[in-house]
Amino acid sequence: MHWDYALILLVLATVVPLLGRRRIRKLMEAASTTKVDRLVLYASTIAFQWIAVAIVLWRARAHDLAPASLGLAVPKPASAVVVAILLSALIVVNQTVALRRLRDNPESAAHGILPHLARKVFPQDGAERLVFTALVSTVALCEELIYRGFAQRVFQDWAGGSVGPGLAVTIGVIGSAAMFSLAHLYQGKRGLTATFVVGLLFSIVRAFTGSLVPASIAHFVADITAGFMAPRSLREGLAKREVAQPQAHTSD
């Protein structure tokens, strides 16, 4: 493995997770966040991710790693379209169930990472949603290129020198999913597990289709659905709890 590839992977496995957790934890510990806080978070994340992608592409080009090797191609267009539709549909169903649970179970509003993100990180008005859409578009493109494109290929090529092609692909899939999971360290143990499973699914799709397109589309759908719908589900859940509490006191 080239030293610069190893350095990039090291930064992705240590610096990125720790800085992300520190930043999100700081926002979570605050009594509330302002519009400026959220917009600064969105803008800085967009800038950071594009800088990271620029570095990855720079070093990949320096070692003659072809764009197709990073998933920047669609060698199986029909498969890519079908998989993108099915994967996005699966994501929508999963997100809808989670958001409905948040809305219908008022007590859940006090637990888990999603309610806190909905309250302090996700957009609260039209202007924030516009910038958030730019953020989600960036994340869907950049994270897929970084983790499913670059990291997965590096792990696969690194393992390919000592194991068979099939096992090398498997190592690439698992390595990519692990790195992706670490990037979501701020979500806690449950979040790490969930993102590892999602990372495995996206990595398998990338290996099967040879393209980042299906996973990028599904990634966008997952984040935009949560970002737009979670704040409303949280408000409805809290309102439901407030209505239920006075009724409980009255019955007592």
Q: What is the CA radius of gyration of the chain?
A: 20
Quick one: tokens of 40?
């600064």
pLDDT confidence of residue 251: 54
User: pTM score, two decimals?
Assistant: 0.89
Range of lowest pLDDT (79-88, 107-116, 122-131, 134-143): 107-116
Sign of the C-alpha dihedral, residues 215, 217, 222, 227?
positive
The answer to whether 70 and 145 are in contact (CB under 8 A) is: yes
pLDDT confidence of residue 238: 62
Q: Is residue 20's pLDDT more than 70?
A: yes
Domain boundaries, the chain: 3-251
Q: Quick one: average pLDDT of 127-146?
A: 96
Euclidean distance between CA atoms 44 and 65, whole angstroms = 29
The answer to whether 13 and 179 are in contact (CB under 8 A) is: yes
Q: Quick one: average pLDDT of 216-244?
A: 81
- DSSP of the chain, one letter per residue? --HHHHHHHHHHHTHHHHHHHHHHHHHHHSS---HHHHHHHHHHHHHHHHHHHHHHHHHHHHTT--GGGGT-S-SSHHHHHHHHHHHHHHHHHHHHHHHHHHHH-GGGGGSSHHHHHHHHTS--SHHHHHHHHHHHHHHHHHHIIIIIIIIHHHHHHHHHTTS-HHHHHHHHHHHHHHHHHHTTGGGHHHHHHHHHHHHHHHHHHHHHHS-SHHHHHHHHHHHHHHHHHHHHHHHHHHHHHHHHHHHHHHH-
Q: What is the largest CA-CA distance in the chain?
A: 74
Q: How many CB atoms lie within 10 A of CB 108?
A: 18
Quick one: tokens of 126?
């039209």
Sign of the C-alpha dihedral, residues 48, 49, 51, 56?
positive
Q: Is residue 144's pLDDT more than 80?
A: yes
